[in-house]
Amino acid sequence: MDFVSRYKQLVDTALEEFFAKKETGKSGIERDAISRLREFTMRGGKRIRPLFMILGYWLNSDIDSKVIRASISLELMQSYLLIHDDIIDRSEVRRGGPTFHRMFDYEERINEGISIVCADLSDAYSHEALLDVDFAPDRLNAAMRLMSEIVEFTGVGQLMDITLPLGDDITPEDVTAIHKYKTAQYTVNGPMKMGATLAGYKNSEKIDNYGLPLGIAFQIQDDILGMFGNEKELGKSVVSDFEEGKKTHLVLFTYEMAKRADVEFVKERLGKKGISKDDFQKVKDIIEKCGALERTRELSNKYYESATSSISDLTGSSQKRDQLKTMADLMVRRVS
């Protein structure tokens, strides 16, 4: 069994055990909330963040049950962040099922209120899961600080993501900055540094040279798949990002590179609900024909190359270097 399959399975088992303990003895709305958090968290996740924590831990220690149990803190943190994100974006689908605020049968305002509180519970659970593992206090405190920084960076990125696209001044560099704060820190870099810290790895700042560019490349690829991917493989609509008005590199490069009439066509439809299939296909054709799609792919590859070129600085083990490269490939060369 390969690294990803083996440790994903162990993370899933640890998550199930955590939620089973949480549900024990509970009743009413509390049990219902935990049950739905369990369903939402277990549904189709790739466990990318726990895997990167485990990989960071492996840089300086053999992988053991302690880091497996600690790594679920990041999945619980992600559920907290995803629930809030889906409410902000008014998203309907997550991982092939309803978003959390669509899992209740009350009126919309109540559903959203319950979901915000459940997200807060998941945040508390993430800290509990990490603190329950028997690591040396200094390493555990340092890892907790890093987890707080992850949430802080993600919050700043979310604020940027909400406000910067409101005007016409957002640039491709702004989008890259959003990806750095909102995705790279909490998907790759922060989890890896948490794992490395728990293992006593020295010079963990070196991980920045791998984790940050890889996280940016991952998000750029996610934006590409968000328009040009297969809905069945993605588990979400390929129209949703465009209807939400997301000004991705694809869109901003199109504004720079396409003919004026085509730019106006895209601008008139960006952020509008209910775009027709024909109009959406024309938008995609414009993005591709003007060269914006290829330019975006090249940008993702630039960050991927930056990340992979730093691998040799992280470890002298060829086995570990190979796994770091494999993880980078899985992140950026993916189709779902």
Tell me whether residue 217 is in a domain: yes
Measured N-to-C along each axis, helices 277-289 and 292-308 cross at an angle, to the nearest 10 degrees, of 60
Coil, helix or strand for 19? helix
Domain housing 336: 203-336
- Of 216, 189, 225, whose CA–CA distance to 48 is shortest? 189
Residue 15: C-alpha distances to residues 18, 196, 230, 296 (Å) = 5, 21, 29, 36
Task: Verify that 96 and 9 share a domain, yes or no.
Answer: yes
Q: Looking at the DSSP assignment, which residues form a beta bridge with residue 94?
A: 97
Coil, helix or strand for 97? strand
Task: Verify that 23 and 158 share a domain, yes or no.
Answer: yes
Task: Verify that 244 and 151 share a domain, yes or no.
Answer: no
Specify the CATH number for the domain of residue 261: 1.10.600.10
How far apart are alpha carbons 179 and 159 in whole angstroms? 12
Calculate ∠ Cα 98-99-105, nearest 5°.
70
Task: Verify that 152 and 17 share a domain, yes or no.
Answer: yes
Backbone φ and ψ for 29, nearest 5 degrees, come out as: -65, -30
Task: Verify that 304 and 212 share a domain, yes or no.
Answer: yes
- Of 252, 332, 330, 237, whose CA–CA distance to 291 is shortest? 252
What pLDDT is recorded for position 336? Answer: 64
Task: Verify that 118 and 209 share a domain, yes or no.
Answer: no
Task: Verify that 17 and 142 share a domain, yes or no.
Answer: yes
Whole-model pTM: value is: 0.92
What pLDDT is recorded for position 79? Answer: 94
For residue 220, with 0-12 CB atoms within 10 Å meaning exposed, 13-18 middle and 19 or more buried, which class applies? buried
Task: Verify that 144 and 230 share a domain, yes or no.
Answer: no
Tell me whether residue 179 is in a domain: no
Tell me whether residue 188 is in a domain: no
Structural domain total, the chain = 2
Task: Verify that 117 and 214 share a domain, yes or no.
Answer: no
| Domain termination residue (choose one: 144, 166, 188) | 166
Q: Looking at the DSSP assignment, which residues form a beta bridge with residue 93?
A: 98
Locate 151 and state its tokens.
Answer: 């949430």
| Domain termination residue (choose one: 138, 166, 194) | 166
Locate 158 and state its tokens.
Answer: 């979310």
Task: Verify that 8 and 155 share a domain, yes or no.
Answer: yes
Walk along the chain (336 residues) and give the pLDDT tens digit of each residue: 799 999 999 999 999 999 999 999 999 989 999 999 999 999 978 899 999 999 999 999 999 999 999 999 999 999 999 999 899 888 887 887 889 898 888 888 998 999 999 999 999 999 999 999 999 999 999 999 999 999 999 999 999 988 888 877 899 999 999 999 989 999 999 999 999 999 999 989 999 999 999 999 999 999 999 899 887 776 667 888 898 888 999 999 999 999 999 999 999 999 988 999 999 999 999 999 999 999 999 999 999 999 999 999 999 999 999 999 999 999 998 776
Tell me whether residue 178 is in a domain: no
Task: Verify that 107 and 224 share a domain, yes or no.
Answer: no
- Of 122, 23, 136, 120, whose CA–CA distance to 72 is shortest? 122
Tell me whether residue 198 is in a domain: no
| Domain termination residue (choose one: 166, 185, 220) | 166
